[in-house]
Amino acid sequence: MAGQTNLFENVNRQFDEAADILGFSHELRELLKTPYREITVAMPIRMEDGTLRVFKGYRVQHNGVRGPQKGGIRFHPDLALDDVRALASLNTWKTAVVNIPFGGAKGGIQCDPSKMSPHELEMLTRRYISKISMVLGPTRDIISPDLNTNAQIMAWVMDEYGRKNGHQPACVTGKPLELGGSQGREAATGRGVALCAREAWTRVLGRDLRGARVTLQGFGNVGGHSARFLHEMGARVVAVADLGGAVRRQEGLDVPALLAHARQNRGTVAGFPGGEPFDPAEIWAQEGDILVPAALGGVLTETTAPTVKASLVVEGANAPTTPEADRIFRERGILLMPDILANAGGATVSYFEWVQNLQHLFWEEAEIFEKEEKVLLQAFRDVEEQVRRHHCTWRTGALVLALDRVRKANELRGW
């Protein structure tokens, strides 16, 4: 899933840079890197063509000292256990950066949902949840959407969990509104990406967002909403690539029309008449000021990073940048906003959904957005302070903040 790179090794290399600054011992590093619990399950499913297929699923709970572990589930044919470990640990650091009372987990199923019927997908989701439900729940481990999973899948998660444990909507976030989902959850990650891009571009780099050119890889939940909010803030979205194709227009793409086109064409921007098609593999080298990777991990590498034209990279995706690419961006003076800050809006509003479910109340969208912005801007300032204090990158600054918060919580609870 991450090409040639191992996401877990990459995340742990980034961890070590921050742990060096904090002077962490070998023992403490070992303790904080090692996942608390890992589960691998097999799900036999009778497909509609009569064949029996056995799918593999994972759930990794990385660290729960600051609260119940929380993390998305992704459905992808190349999903590997090491990816899940990496993403679970990133969630521990992410929830700590935004200071919400959660730990980190992640899960998923090795499958290609584009080749499955809705019924097969429902059976597979239910089988997966029934096999891991003993370690889930509102006070243990809370599921949310990720790559190739959506509100409908979260509804099946809630229903299947409820069959054994009684109706507990707070066991999963990103649900449909009709089932206790939160206003603003679907747009929350993209909104956070856009807010982070705005703060970095205007406050840190001192530039004007109006007319700034944005390029994106991925136009699903995160990429689509990031593009929409950046467009509304006055930026120009000039190039977008996804699994189906890519389109560009230096004067700026009509983002609402592009979103409508993708909705009507199985989610892809391919075939959009308001732009020029190009090879999606060329997305990194497109002319632009702000680059938003919002699809897969491990895509910005020592091969692609030198071709990047932007002066700001905002990580919508989880772990899109390898440590080698991090070094290249640093050397080239390209500012990078790390995933654990830039895409933490989703985790933040998942927390709000959990709070609303536990209290049986509903907040309005404006209230959610206001609260989300407050949390994210505070996190932005907290990370900025670490960057100033330690003269480090924003990734290392965010990790220093997170590692220190998790270490303190661990110390207070006892080892």
CB nearer to ligand NAD: pick between 69 and 221: 221
- Site mask for ligand NAD (CB under 6 A), range 308-327, x = bound: --------xxx---------
CB of 90 to ligand NAD, least distance (A): 9
User: Does 220 interact with ligand NAD (rule: CB under 6 A)?
Assistant: yes
Site for ligand NAD in 332-391 (CB under 6 A): 343, 346
CB nearer to ligand NAD: pick between 107 and 316: 316
Q: Yes or no: say if 234 and 209 are a contact pair by the CB < 8 Å rule.
A: yes
CB of 343 to ligand NAD, least distance (A): 4
Is the C-alpha dihedral spanning 215, 220, 225, 231 positive or negative? positive
CB nearer to ligand NAD: pick between 19 and 79: 79
- Identified binder of ligand NAD from the candidate list 110, 182, 217, 304, rule CB under 6 A: 217
- Identified binder of ligand NAD from the candidate list 5, 89, 148, 301, rule CB under 6 A: 148
The residue count for binding ligand NAD (CB under 6 A) is: 24
Residue 101 backbone dihedrals phi, psi, to 5 degrees: -80, 60
Distance CA 144, CA 414 (A): 29
Contacts for 18 with CB less than 8 Å, ≥ 6 apart: 396, 399, 400, 402, 403
Query: What is the distance of C-alpha 109 from the center of its chain?
Result: 17
Site for ligand NAD in 265-304 (CB under 6 A): 280, 294-296
- Identified binder of ligand NAD from the candidate list 219, 329, 351, 369, rule CB under 6 A: 219
CB of 220 to ligand NAD, least distance (A): 2
C-alpha dist (Å) from residue 375 to 99, 192, 341, 379: 8, 10, 11, 6
> Minimal CA–CA distance to 346: which of 325, 380, 375?
375
Distance CA 99, CA 107 (A): 22
CB nearer to ligand NAD: pick between 221 and 357: 221
- Identified binder of ligand NAD from the candidate list 223, 275, 338, 397, rule CB under 6 A: 223
User: Does 189 interact with ligand NAD (rule: CB under 6 A)?
Assistant: yes
Residue 63 tokens, joined: 């660290």
3-class DSSP assignment, residue 38: strand
SS3 of 232-247: the string is HCCCEEEEEECCCCEE
| 290-293 vs 213-217, strand pairing mode | parallel
User: Does 100 interact with ligand NAD (rule: CB under 6 A)?
Assistant: no
User: Does 105 interact with ligand NAD (rule: CB under 6 A)?
Assistant: no
Strand locations in 76-209 (E):
103-110, 141-145
CB nearer to ligand NAD: pick between 21 and 372: 372
Residue 268 tokens, joined: 């892809």
CB nearer to ligand NAD: pick between 133 and 217: 217
Other beta carbons within 10 angstroms of residue 361's beta carbon come to 8
106 a catalytic residue: yes
CB of 240 to ligand NAD, least distance (A): 9
Q: Yes or no: say if 321 and 315 are a contact pair by the CB < 8 Å rule.
A: yes
- Identified binder of ligand NAD from the candidate list 83, 160, 242, 382, rule CB under 6 A: 242
User: Does 399 interact with ligand NAD (rule: CB under 6 A)?
Assistant: no
Q: Which residues contribute to the site for ligand NAD (CB under 6 A)?
A: 145-148, 189, 217-223, 241-243, 280, 294-296, 316-318, 343, 346
Q: Which residues are catalytic?
A: 106
